[in-house]
């Protein structure tokens, strides 16, 4: 009696292990390739992926033109140390962040650390979906180092293109 009581669980465990082993081999052999969202069956089997969808938000040609011109102007002002002019011409929201003296002092301190502005190369730009503002990314070469600079531009309620944000960080 004790023999049959012990043998039944052992047989059950062996049977369970054998069945799960068979299932895993069948799963590997019969598993269909995964189809990613937005992918058709022909794209999946051909190995090609669908192209990335462009951003849903696109700037108007006039916004692109005005923002590009303003970007060139702001970069020139940075190069020439015209930080007071940058601050005065920026959007109202930009100026609410802090006083002009603080902005000018910050940029003068930056130039002490980085050395003079030498050159800037645009690395790309995007349109923010939240507000449609255009964000330019530039690599800036200073005398002592390179930094990444982001300039954000948007239309004011009056219809003029304005600098709404400026952000700079070191490049490693």
The answer to whether the CB of 59 falls within 8 A of the CB of 153 is no
Q: Tell me the two tokens of residue 5.
A: 């009581």
3-state secondary structure of 81: coil
Spatial contact of 135 and 122, defined as CB atoms under 8 Å apart: no
DSSP letter for 15, please.
Answer: H
* pLDDT at 87 exceeding the cut of 80: yes
> What's the pTM value of the predicted model, to 2 decimals?
0.66
Instruction: State pLDDT tens for residues 103-136.
Output: 999 999 999 999 999 999 999 999 999 999 999 9
Cβ–Cβ under 8 Å, residues 81 and 88: no
Q: The tokens of 100 are what?
A: 């002009």
Higher pLDDT, 69 or 32: 69
| Cα(137)–Cα(123) distance, integer angstroms | 6
Residues 6+ apart with CB under 8 A from 103: 83, 86, 87
Looking at residue 17, its pLDDT comes to 47
| CB 132 within 8 Å of CB 154 | yes
The tally of CA atoms less than 13 A away on the side-chain side of residue 4 is 1
């Amino acid at each position: 009696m004790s023999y049959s009581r012990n043998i039944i669980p052992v047989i059950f465990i062996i049977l369970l292990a054998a069945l799960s082993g068979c299932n895993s081999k069948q799963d590997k052999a019969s598993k269909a390739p995964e189809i990613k969202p937005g992918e058709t069956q022909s794209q999946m089997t051909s190995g090609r992926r669908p192209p990335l969808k462009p951003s849903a938000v696109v700037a108007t040609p006039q916004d692109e033109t005005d923002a590009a011109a303003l970007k060139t102007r702001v970069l020139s002002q940075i190069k020439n140390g015209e930080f007071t002019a940058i601050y005065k011409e920026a959007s109202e929201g930009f100026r609410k962040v802090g006083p002009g003296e603080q902005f000018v002092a910050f940029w003068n301190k930056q130039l002490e650390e980085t050395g003079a502005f030498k050159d800037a190369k645009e690395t790309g730009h995007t349109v923010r979906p939240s507000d449609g503002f255009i964000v330019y990314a530039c690599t800036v070469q200073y005398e002592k180092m390179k930094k990444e600079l982001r300039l954000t531009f948007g239309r004011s309620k009056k219809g003029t293109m304005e600098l709404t944000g400026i952000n700079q960080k070191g490049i490693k």
